[in-house]
Structure 1
Amino acid sequence: MTRNIFLETDRLLLRAWEETDIEPFAEICADPEVMRYFPDVMTREKSEFLVSRCVDKQDRDGFCMAPVEIKESGEFLGFVGLNRPSYAAPLPFEPCVEIGWRLKQSCWGKGYASEAANAWLRFGFETIGLDEIVAFTIPANNPSRRVMDRIGMRRDPDGDFLHPSLPADHPVAPHVLYRLSKHDWISQQGE
């Protein structure tokens, strides 16, 4: 089988979704520790639906939250990628392209999210010519916020918002917004 590889880093392959990804991805999304900054864990059916939406977005937009695997072993780690948000109600800063990640616990703390995210930033700015990429999470999600900092994104306190898919009083409704402009990204590449 010819694999559809989108991007490659020193240690990782970022590639198209495959049928064999659904089960390990569903396990990640059912892990309460992985999902602690989300409204809830996901059922297998919801995880499968999310994968189908990613595949549709890849076909439509040319990018999506894509599987990440270790190049050497083929181990599935989760996903990292770019996404055009499509919630029932728009985000206050749309239109936009976000960068995001969800990785299994056993690979946390090894730099995989930052490594894959940097490859996607390069793709977003150099290949498809985006002017800006955003990221967002809840204030308590320090692990993801550290990745955002490491990849050069900067917090935009004026852009913080309540997630439109959740009731305003929901514990994970408040979100912090991070931004990275193409200009700032190019400047950081020369450092």
Structure 2
Amino acid sequence: MGEDRVLVLKTFAAPLELRTRRTLLRQWKDSDLPAWCAMNADAEVRRYFSATLGFEQAVQEAGRIRAAIAQRGWGMWALELPGQMAFAGTVGLHVTTIDAPFVPTVELGWRLCREAWGRGLATEAAQAAMQFAFDQLQLDELTAYTAEENLPSQAVMQRLGMQHDAADDFDHPLIAPGQPLRRHRLFRLRRTAT
């Protein structure tokens, strides 16, 4: 892995919730799983991933996400639009463990169902997660990364004030050589920039 850094991450006794004008970031519920599984079986939602997820794979991923929130009090929260949509996807913070030069790091991430696209929800919810990371966790930096072709996510990163340096771009170690989505762009945001 990268630069000999150690992340010291603050934990909370119970899962926290974050609210914005239109969104609620919360711990996952069992009732979220059908929508989560359907979302991850949608080829358009998974367009910039190497594959869609089958039911069992999606349930396992949700279990890992829930466990991380239960352990730390924060993570990749379930995204709810109160009064409109009980589950719209996931937005939050992920402790990245891939073998890459910028790791260890906390990644700011999102994945929304198609019905929630184009409304600025990823940006709004990610801003709340970003503020939490800097104010409560006292992180010095957040990162975000995606496939070079994923211009919609890169646009969200730019709206959040994240900076891209081509020298940071990398080949994702979990995507096989020769695959079109292997090359990724890394964006960074330092606490002093907020």
Provide the rounded CA distance (Å) in 1 between the counterparts of 2:48 and 2:85. 28
- Which amino acid in structure 2 is aligned with residue 99 of structure 1? L
Q: Which has the higher contact order (CA 8 A, sep 6+)?
A: 2
Alignment map for 1:83-98 (pairs within 5 Å): 83-87=94-98, 90-98=99-107
Give the C-alpha shift of residue 66 in structure 1. Answer: 1.0
Q: What's the secondary structure of 1:145's corresponding residue?
A: helix
Q: What's the secondary structure of 2:96's corresponding residue?
A: coil
**Structure 2 counterpart of 1:45:** 56
**Structure 1 counterpart of 2:118:** 109
Deviating 4+ runs (over 4 angstroms): none
**Structure 2 counterpart of 1:189:** none
Alignment map for 1:3-82 (pairs within 5 Å): 6-82=17-93
Q: What's the secondary structure of 1:75's corresponding residue?
A: strand
Provide the rounded CA distance (Å) in 2 between the counterparts of 1:56 and 1:144. 26
| 1:1-32 CA-partner distances (Å, limit 9, x unpaired) | xxx65100001110001001111001111100
- Which amino acid in structure 2 is aligned with residue 31 of structure 1? D
Give the C-alpha shift of residue 74 in structure 1. Answer: 4.3
Provide the rounded CA distance (Å) in 2 between the counterparts of 1:22 and 1:86. 24
- Which amino acid in structure 2 is aligned with residue 92 of structure 1? P
1:166 to 175, 181, 191: 175
Of 163-172 and 137-146, more deviation after overlay is shown by 163-172
1:147 to 140, 156, 160: 156
Provide the rounded CA distance (Å) in 2 between the counterparts of 1:133 and 1:184. 11
Provide the rounded CA distance (Å) in 2 between the counterparts of 1:146 and 1:40. 22
Of 110-119 and 52-61, more deviation after overlay is shown by 52-61
Give the C-alpha shift of residue 118 in structure 1. Answer: 0.1
Q: What's the secondary structure of 1:147's corresponding residue?
A: helix
TM-score by length of 1: 0.90
Runs (5+) with no aligned partner, structure 1: 186-191
| 1:152-173 CA-partner distances (Å, limit 9, x unpaired) | 1111211100001122222111
Identity %: 37
Aligned residues: 180
**Structure 2 counterpart of 1:131:** 140
| 1:81-135 CA-partner distances (Å, limit 9, x unpaired) | 1000134xx2221110001111011111100000000000000000110000000
CA contact (8 A) 2:97 2:103 kept: no
1:156 to 152, 165, 169: 165
TM-score by length of 2: 0.89
Of 64-73 and 54-63, more deviation after overlay is shown by 54-63
CA contact (8 A) 2:16 2:73 kept: no
